[in-house]
Amino acid sequence: VEGVDPLFLLQGGQILRVSTALSCLLGTPLRVRNIRAGRSQPGLRPQHLSGLEMVRALCDGKMEGGEIGSTEVTFTPGKIKGGTHLADTKTAGSVCLLMQVAMPCVLFAAAPSELHLKGGTNAEMAPQIDYTVMVFKPIVEKFNLTLDCIIKRRAVVKVMVQISPVKQLSPITLTDRGTVTKIHGRAFVAGALPVKIAKDMASAAVRCIRKEVRDLYVNIQAVREPDNEAFGTGTGIIIVAETSTGCLLAGSSLGKRGKSADKVGMEAAEMLLGNLRHGGAVDDYLQDQLIIFMALADGISRVKTGPITLHTETAIHFAEQLTKAKFTVTKSEDDGSSKDAYIIECQGIGLLNPNL
């Protein structure tokens, strides 16, 4: 992976996730240089390494340069196998990002797989586990796959993901957002924090949403995670809008020291409202997570989004380079679309599972 736009290099972890998964699926050896070259701590971090190790193990591959701080990795894939696979970031690194790299691979295994992932479920700069369960799972299952995600413990935690292999992925069309029919969510506290903080986050979010969405009941549950299911202390909120056509769009935020509960709630509400304003059928977080599945599917997928994120541009670039899938991104011309709406179209390669 060379000759890359310098902007993409800032997406170093994502480049690794997309290219390693595709290398494994296509049986193509891979060398990645200048890993996270633009970062203050260049090279592989523990969460990247645990993802690479997991993919190497699940396809009996070989890897050179697989150590923390390494800026160059060579990966040679073998045959993908099902069964139980373990990964531990050894830090609060996100289990959701581990899942992003392993899941496409095990879909094309010979037998069902169980991924036992250990790390952070609600980490900054990564999808929250609630987002993965409430938004990513139901939408990605439209590609004709099944996925079960069981949260064992929160904060620094364990998640178990069960995935059945597929013969081939079906393409998806997500271009009609429909009308919002339901807004719901959960605000949580874990550890030594009082549930009042969760209630304050939920109230602030509801007040913010009410300014723009007046005709729907907004139901955000305030919960304190049971001590036996949480590890560490933390707060967060996720709010999901469901639409008449089965679209799911979300906004989320995490608390941290010195950040008021009201601010956390309002951040999540503003993110959701922003996703509703652009008229896309998926939210800004889901865009890039769908690209690899669109590239592998058998036929033309079309997805309407808001402004294209750098993560999505990066995913498209590497998916095209490695799979020969063809992507086009055009301004949405629909009446009623905001000026920020786009259509991502992909002619997928129709990858077949040779094991089924």
Task: Quote the pLDDT of residue 11.
Answer: 60
Indicate the residue type of 235. T
pLDDT greater at residue 227 or residue 182: 182
Q: Which residues pair with 147 in a beta bridge?
A: 163
- Kindly report the CATH class assigned to 180-278: alpha beta
The predicted model gives 125-142 an average pLDDT of 89
Residues 21-41, mean pLDDT to the nearest whole number? 90
**Average pLDDT of the residues in 7-11:** 50
Pairing, β 113-120 against β 83-88 = parallel
User: Of 3.90.740.10, 3.40.50.300, 3.65.10.20, 3.90.180.10, which CATH number belongs to 6-174+282-349?
Assistant: 3.65.10.20
* Segment among 2-11, 176-185, 288-297 with least mean pLDDT: 2-11
- Which has the higher per-residue pLDDT, 124 or 43? 43
Task: State the average pLDDT over residues 23-52.
Answer: 89
| Alpha-carbon span 55 to 344, nearest angstrom | 28
The verdict on whether 311 is a catalytic residue reads yes
CA distance 5 to 103: 27
pLDDT band at 4 (very low <50, low <70, confident <90, very high): very low
Q: Please report, in range form, the residues annotated as the binding site for ATP.
A: 100, 285-289
**pLDDT at residue 124, as a whole number:** 64
Query: Do the Cβ atoms of 233 and 155 come closer than 8 Å?
Result: yes
**Ranges 14-28, 81-95, 290-304, 336-350: which has the least confidence:** 81-95
Of 155-169, 177-191, 201-215, which range is least confident? 155-169
CA-to-CA distance for 38 and 254, rounded, in angstroms? 26
Nearest alpha carbon to residue 332 among 297, 306, 295, 298:
306
User: Residue 83: helix, strand or coil by DSSP?
Assistant: strand
Look at residue 103 in the predicted model and tell me its pLDDT: 97
Distance CA 183, CA 272 (A): 10
What's the pLDDT at 8? 47
Share of the chain above pLDDT 90, in %: 73
Helices (H), 211-309: 261-277, 286-296
Catalytic option among 48, 85, 278, 311: 311
Angle, to 10 degrees, between the axis of helix 95-106 and the axis of helix 286-296? 10
Residues written for the chain = 356
What pLDDT does 36 receive? 83
* Bridge partners (DSSP) listed for residue 237: 187, 253
Confidence at 157, pLDDT banded by 50, 70, 90? low
Strand pairing partners for 101? none
Q: What is the mean pLDDT of residues 220-240?
A: 87
Q: Band of the pLDDT at 7, cuts 50, 70, 90?
A: very low
Locate the domains of the chain by residue range: 6-174+282-349, 180-278
Which positions make up the binding site? 100, 285-289
Render 174-206 in DSSP notation, one character per residue: E-----EEEEEEEEEEETT--HHHHHHHHHHHH
Give tens-digit pLDDT for 56-112: 999 999 999 999 999 999 999 999 999 999 998 887 678 888 999 999 999 999 999
Distances, alpha carbon 31 to alpha carbons 77, 103, 139, 216, 253, in Å = 12, 21, 32, 51, 35
Separation of alpha carbons 234 and 191, rounded Å: 7
Identity of residue 152: K
